[in-house]
A and B are shown apart, each in its own frame.
Chain A
Amino acid sequence: MANIAYSQRSSTFKRVAVYITGRLVMMFATVVIGVFLTILIANMGGYVDEIQRGIIREDVSQAANQNLSLRSLTSEERMHWVNEQIILREKQLGLDKPFMVRAVKFMKDALTLNLGRAQRMTSDKGSQMVRDIILERLPPTLILFGISGLLLFVVEIWIALGLSRHYGGFWDKLFVFLAPASTSPAWFYGIFLILIFAAMLGILPFGGMMDAPVPDNWVDYTLSLLRHMILPLVAVTLSQIFLNTYNWRTFFLIYSNEDYVEMAKAKGLPSRVIEREYIMRPTLPTIITSFALTLIGLWQGFIIMETVFNWPGMGRAYFQAVQFFDVPVIVGMTVINAYMLAITMFILDFIYAILDPRVQVANQGGNQ
């Protein structure tokens, strides 16, 4: 018996190991392809080099016209200065090397998480390391969108459960009625909220994350931060809560009508037990997947929202990187996102197996 049990355990372990290895290889291949495509797209297949060269020439010519000290030079000396500046700037951006050589280096660095240095951007603290730029912008994004994302997620599910229990009631009808309001993006609400509460009423700030000068004690600092978070939080809430709640409520309603739920009700089980054991439990994989993807989404920030509210987060950094054609920053942010997505998917496979006994690694590999 012990041998059979050992053999079964060994077989299971082997199947899991093969499965894990296969998944890891597949996900790594996906990441590699994704990152390489990002490099190609961010560089427009190498055309960005031409754009950069054109802009450098334009900028240097303009700088030469505006540089007062060059007015003491003859026109030939001025041209000499211009040409030397162009060579220096092209070298600084790596344009003295062929695109494919740089693309391979980008790829290698990205996959090894050596994010390198930005070409044009610096962090607010003056560092050119992509790592520093990302690490600096991450906390503001997490503070604002982490709070709003997590809070909304919990609140939406909480309200949705309530609505599903009181299907057809006043609040249910109200949320159904307001659901289309969430088709407008958060920045759209943001603009109106700024106009009303900052421009007209003057009771809340236009944007940014802190008063200037920055308060010198933590109480005022925290209050100032919260004050600056109000409008973006409200904007995000208005743009998401109705539709998401409506979706979750519909989702729960579907599960609420399953036969086993009806059976539980017929058995006279308390509604909280039914909710927790018969509705929430089977919907957990979906909820957790949604939660995990929400977490990953938070990391990228919200480009337009952060721009509207002048919020110094990841979204604005992304926007600036695209504006500057700062490929290392774009690739750096993308590769981290790709890794996080891959790792999340990988972990979710196990969570599904734990939460749902129907999910298991099949004998032929692959999962069911």
Chain B
Amino acid sequence: MSRKLITFFSLLVVTVLVLAACQGPATAPQATALPGAPEPTTPAPSNTLPTEVPDTGRMGGWLDTLVFTSIDQIADAVTQLKADALDIYPFGSENSDAFQTTASDPNLAYTVAIGNAVDGFMFNPAGPTFTDGRLNPFSNPKVREAINWLIDRNYVAQEAIGALGQPQTVVIVSTFPDYVRYADIIRPLEVKYSYNLEKAKAAISTEMEAMGATMGSDGKWQFNGEPVVLIGLIRSEDARTFMGNYLSDQLENIGFTVDRQVRTRTELSPIWGRSIPENGEWHFYTGGWGYNSIARNSSNLFDGYYTPRAGSTTAEQGYVVSPEFDQLAMDLANNKYSDMNERREMFARALELSLQESQIVWVAGVNQFYPRNANLQVSSDMVAGVAQSSLYPYTLRWIDQEGGTARLANQGILTGAWNPVSGQNWVQEVVVQKATVDDGVLADPYTGLYWPQRIERAEVTTVEGLPMTKTLDWVDLQFTSEIVVPADAWADWDAAKQEFILASEKYPSGATALTKITVYYPSDLWNVKWHDGSNISVGDFVNNIIRLFDRAKPESAIFDEAAVPTYESMMTYFKGVKIVSTDPLIIETYVDTYDLDAEVLIGQNAFGTWFPTNRTNAWSSFSWHSFVPGYLAEENRELSFSEEKSTSLNVNWTHYIDGPSLEILKKYLDQAEKDTYIPYSPTLSQFITPDEAGQRYGNLQAWYAKHNHFWIGTGPYYLDQVNSVEGSIVTRHFADFPDPANKWDRFGEPMLPVLDAAGPAKVSSGKEATFDVLVSYKDAPYPSSYLDSIPFLLYDAEGTLVDKGTAEFVTEGQYAIQLTADMTAKLKEGTAQLEIIAVSNVISVPVFTRVTFVVGQ
């Protein structure tokens, strides 16, 4: 009997498993073809023109459903893309094997983010000798400077990173506008500090001897009779292993002995980041740094990388900087320049000093690729890629189709709590959250400027003399001699009274500001709906303003010491905010700060538009009524918005979408509905009526009953399913989104110009010469309206920059470079080089080309 039972049970299990296997793989629902649109037959390769976007009556996102799952490794993601089990992997990687696999598959496409990671060498600055008497050659800035000549950046970039690597010599990444702005300064420096082993050897030998070291008969440097052993901390996880070993090889070639310690981040971090530099536990470390957006203003980079203010590790704190460079770096970081000419001079000197002192020697910029199904289109940020692109949810679509499902995979999923105040802000979460939120302005993925989304326009007024500019038409920039903060502007928050502190109270003798921002919202703003059907209202905006103050006040019911540093930082420049009109909504903000770009000042700061989206922590929308249950739960110490406070209270971190928080939040939603509760009543009661409160709580109750979570936004997709244990999140198309689906489709693909140049093979010194320059995009002339300029740099046979200029417009797509007799007269006999740069105003990446010619008499 028992044998029969076992046999039966085994057969049953096998049968069930076979049946389950026959169910077939999960497939995405088929997308609906546009009426009259052809079916996609051949997949579009990565470099095709953006598909012409047809008129559409569809509102919100192009797709019906976004399904997020988790895949940790890029290689696995590419395998699943090839097997059509995944549609897009929005996380970048420099894995060259996976990149080659993607690039060679016609069914796959990809975008590349340029320079979102940068690798280089950090050096222990202590010395010249450590406490035990060992010599530290890297205490000498001239030795560090010589490392620039010791390394062949092109070789390292190619060998270590492959097609996704590019050499990097200066701190400014080539996708940043300042690289283009100062290309005539940077390019000669890059030439000057290019690989030159003999020069490196000579410079290091001179300095080593000056420091008392001697070259032994074995060809090794010695100091006080002992070999000079350099301890190299080499990261083992990525291309930096090759990089560290390469430097070790080069150092050994010129007489050093290198102790290579190839280990992981966690093993090396305490050594370079926590040890006392004077103890000499390390000499160099293979560092890596990342960027998550295009930095329109790079003036803080010198201070942020080369000085003791760069960070709080003992290595950075120990940096020795010349007084001139230190002051220059700080002045640049604090934007202390009167105009762009002075800024240019400061940059030129800072760039020069940064290479002379070389606290960090940059080696390679690491580009990352983002693979996807070739039939899927998406805009990708030039630096931040897909996951952190503001526009990805708006532009993600199947080519020539409306609707359908896209399957996205995150590097992990649900890694922490979601809440509208201080939830998890890891990119794994942000990529999902971004699909559910909207914003006042959105970042241009190719230039780093901002475009209006919910706002209509803005005016920026700044005091005369500040080097602020504007590029786009939606911003009006004015200059004035003085900006007075109005007495009735809200300058701070009294958490005890739950009222704003007016500027007249905070600054009894009056206050001025450097900049005033006025944002104008459209008259139909109040038709915008939250996902639960509630209309957005002025209460959401005022509550959003209160959020920036209240949690940092000890008198607040939800005081959180973790919020204090950010509040204190903000109050160093925030002067006041005033709601001038509620219909249409007009808000004035007064701040003691500015930016080079007016668009960036508005888009980059929480005070820019005051639209109720929280970008400082999680990317969450901030409706006042969905905030209330969390507020009440924290007030009663049952949950806390921040991870830090939840730890100190030993309660759960408020999680709006799943887990034990939901029951508590529901309890307080019931209570708020019953009491028609209005938060911060002394203030918000002026903006929120009991009717609105009752209606909103009713909407949220219905939403919770249907979706079992409290996460609502105004974005193009709403959060539908949270499957924590199963590891997936599903968002669906929000039909009430106010904009048409094709609003942002012009950003489907960056218009990177193609540059060609031709001219005479031989130029006579002292005689004029003309070179033709062709600028195109997909074999068509590149529109001149999209081109900022075409500067050129002229180098002589020794690689010295002898002159520079700008190409002249001839006709669409065609330009001419006229080398005058004076210019060519500066060239020595030999092979000269003309370097031409195409600078587009719709994409921040400069494009270079070079023409060589022989100079004779």
Contact = CB atoms under 8 A, between A and B. Distances in A.
A233 B16 CA distance: 13
Nearest to A68: B604
Interface string B692-731: 0000000000000000000000000000010111111010
Given A66-B292, A68-B604, A78 B67 contact: no
Contacts of A223: 19-20, 23
A202 B290 contact: no
A94 B726 CA distance: 32
A125 B566 contact: no
A326 interface: no
B23 A227 contact: yes
Given A66-B291, A230-B17, A213 B660 contact: no
B374 to A, nearest CB: 18
B80 A312 contact: no
Contacts of B604: 68-69, 71
A126 B80 contact: no
Contact of B312 (A47, A82, A310): A82
A354 to B, nearest CB: 21
Nearest to A87: B565
A81 B730 contact: no
Interface stretch (A55-63, A170-178, A341-349): A55-63
Interface residues of A, number: 81
A73 B291 CA distance: 18
Given A69-B604, A204-B25, A123 B83 contact: no
Contacts of A92: 643-644, 647-648
B65 A213 contact: yes
Given A66-B291, A69-B616, A208 B726 contact: yes
B270 A126 contact: no
Contacts of A289: none
B531 to A, nearest CB: 18
Given A122-B415, A199-B79, A75 B330 contact: yes
B658 A84 contact: no
B273 interface: yes
A203 to B, nearest CB: 6
Contacts of B417: 122, 126
A58 B76 CA distance: 29
A269 interface: no
A203 B25 contact: yes
Given A123-B659, A212-B67, A230-B21, A140 B725 contact: yes
Interface centre among B23, B84, B312, B728 (most CB of A within 10 A): B312
Given A81-B565, A204-B21, A126 B418 contact: yes
Contact of B562 (A57, A88, A203): A88
A57 B273 contact: yes
B372 interface: no
Contacts of B595: 71-72
Contacts of A203: 21, 24-25
B683 interface: no
A50 interface: yes
Contact of A75 (B300, B616, B727): B300
B313 A54 contact: yes
Nearest to A123: B659
Interface stretch (B254-262, B302-310, B347-355, B471-479): B302-310
Contacts of B648: 91-92
Given A51-B270, A81-B565, A312 B297 contact: no
Interface in B412-434: 414-418
Given A126-B657, A226-B20, A227-B21, A84 B564 contact: yes
A249 interface: no
B635 interface: no
A275 to B, nearest CB: 11
B652 A72 contact: no
Interface stretch (A29-37, A150-158, A180-188): A150-158
B743 to A, nearest CB: 24
B304 A127 contact: no
Contact of A57 (B274, B655, B659, B728): B274
A310 B648 CA distance: 33
A61 B310 contact: yes
B561 interface: yes
A66 B569 contact: no
A229 to B, nearest CB: 8
Main SS at interface, chain B: mixed
B316 A61 contact: yes
Given A47-B270, A61-B311, A62-B289, A199 B83 contact: yes
A124 B17 contact: no
Contacts of B660: 125-127, 132
A155 B5 CA distance: 12
Contacts of A140: 725
A212 B25 contact: no
Interface residues of B, number: 100
A53 B270 contact: yes
What DSSP secondary structure best describes chain A's contact surface? Answer: helix
A65 B291 CA distance: 8
Contact of B653 (A126, A154, A199, A209): A126
Contacts of B312: 57, 60-61, 79, 82-83, 86
A142 interface: no
A92 B6 CA distance: 54
A233 B415 CA distance: 27
Contacts of B183: none
B661 A310 contact: no
B647 to A, nearest CB: 5
Contacts of B290: 62, 66
B6 A210 contact: no
A43 interface: no
A51 B266 contact: yes
Given A212-B26, A213-B730, A226-B20, A125 B724 contact: yes
A28 B313 CA distance: 43
B727 A312 contact: yes
A226 to B, nearest CB: 4
A58 B573 CA distance: 27
A128 interface: yes
B338 interface: no
A69 B730 CA distance: 31
A198 interface: yes
A351 interface: no
Contact of B17 (A122, A127, A211, A226): A226
A77 B839 CA distance: 35
B128 to A, nearest CB: 26
Contacts of B647: 92, 117, 128
A70 interface: yes
24 contacts: A61-B311, A61-B312, A61-B313, A66-B290, A69-B569, A71-B604, A75-B304, A75-B307, A78-B569, A81-B566, A84-B565, A122-B416, A125-B414, A126-B659, A127-B659, A128-B646, A139-B725, A154-B6, A155-B6, A155-B10, A208-B69, A214-B721, A227-B20, A307-B72
Q: Which 5 A-B pairs have the closest CB atoms?
A: A126-B655, A125-B659, A61-B311, A54-B269, A212-B728
Interface of A: 47, 50-51, 53-55, 57-58, 60-62, 64-86, 88-89, 91-92, 117, 122-129, 132, 136, 139-140, 151, 154-155, 158, 198-200, 202-206, 208-214, 223-224, 226-227, 229-230, 233, 307, 310, 312, 325
Given A66-B291, A82-B311, A213-B721, 10 more contacts: A58-B265, A73-B572, A78-B309, A88-B565, A89-B644, A124-B727, A126-B657, A155-B6, A208-B727, A226-B16
